[in-house]
Amino acid sequence: MVSTGCFAANVGGCGGRLSLEHSLSFSLLREMGDELEVSGFPWLPAGTTKRVAARSLGSKVLCETHNRHLANLDSAAATFFRCLRACIRHDGRGSVGTVQGELVEQWMLKCLLGFDAARHVVVEGQRRTFALATQFDLLSKLFDGHRWTDGRGLYSASKSQSPISTSNSLSFGPLWDTTLDRCSGCVLSFSGIPFILQIGDPEYHDWHLANWHYRPDFVEFDHGGVKSGVNIQWAEPTGMGIVIRTVEDRQTPPH
C-alpha cells in the first residue's frame, strides 16, 4: 500500500492516513515553549520573524505507519538535546546522559527529508525542492539504519562558532553545494552549538568541514573547571570529541 504524499512511499509499507509530521519533532519544539519565534520559512518575508504555536509547524508528509516507525528517532533527539541543555545550564556534573550517534544521524536525516517534502527549504531567497526522498540510499539509512562508513554522517565543530546561549534556540537548514547544484546535507544549531549531517559524496566534503570532528564520542562542557558532558555511542568509536569552554564575565579586581 502506498499513501500519496508520504515521503517514505518508495520503501513501501504505507498505512493509515497522512499524519501531522513535525520535521524538528513536536516533543522537542514543545520543550522550547508552546509558542515559538520563527524565521526563514518560505511563507515569511525574508528577514522577518513571527510567533507561532509549536503545533502549527507540522506538515502532512508522512503516513501514520511510517511516522510510528520513526518515533524512536524523535525520542533519541529529545534525550540528546535535553542533556545538552542540562550541561549548558550547569544542571549536572560528569556524564549527564548517553545517546546513540546513529539515531541522531537518522533523526537529522528525517528532519531534512521532512523539510524537503514540505517545501520548507529556501536557498538564496528561493524555495527549492531537492526530491531527496527519491534517493533510496537515504531512505535505507533512515528506516534500516544502513551504516555510513565513507565520511558521510554527523560532524561537530571543534570550536564553537557562535556564543553558547542558555536560552532555548534552534536553527536548521540545508547545506547547498553551489558547485554541484545539489543538497549535500544540513546544519543544525542548538543554543549556539552547531552540528552538520553530511549526505554528499566524501570527495566533496572539505569545502565546509575544515576543523570539524567526524562522529564525536562526546560533547564536554568546561565551566571554569567544572565539567559535564554527553556521551555519544557509535558502532565504531572515533576516540575524539569536542570540548566547549565557557568563560564567566568577572570584574577585574583593583590593584
Worst-scoring range by mean pLDDT, 123-132, 152-161, 187-196, 244-253? 244-253
State residue 83 phi and psi, 5-degree precision.
-70, -40
Residue with cell 507540522: 58
The Cα 89–Cα 87 span in angstroms is: 5
What is the predicted pLDDT for the residue at 160?
52
Q: Report angle CA 22, 165, 41 to the nearest 5 degrees.
A: 35
Task: Give mean pLDDT, residues 165-185.
Answer: 78
Burial 112-124 (b: 16+ CB within 10 A, else e): bbbbbbbebbbee
Q: How far is CA 100 from CA 41, 189, 191, 233, in A?
A: 30, 19, 21, 5
Residue 246 exposure: Cα atoms within 13 Å on the Cβ side: 19
The Cα 67–Cα 6 span in angstroms is: 10
Q: Report angle CA 127, 128, 132 to the nearest 5 degrees.
A: 145
| 3-state class (DSSP) for residue 125 | coil
Nearest in space to 30 (alpha carbons), one of 170, 125, 147, 130: 170
Residue 149 exposure: Cα atoms within 13 Å on the Cβ side: 5
Task: Give mean pLDDT, residues 128-149.
Answer: 86
Higher pLDDT: 178 or 230? It is 230
Residue 84 has pLDDT above 80, yes or no: yes
The Cα 170–Cα 29 span in angstroms is: 9
Nearest in space to 164 (alpha carbons), one of 210, 218, 221: 221
Q: State the pairing for strand pair 59-63/18-21.
A: antiparallel
Higher pLDDT: 161 or 146? It is 146
19-67 pLDDT, tens digit per residue, is 988 877 777 777 776 777 777 677 777 778 778 777 777 889 999 999 9
Q: pTM of the prediction?
A: 0.86
180 in Cβ contact with 204 (< 8 Å): yes
1 in Cβ contact with 16 (< 8 Å): no
What grid cell was written down for 217? 564520542
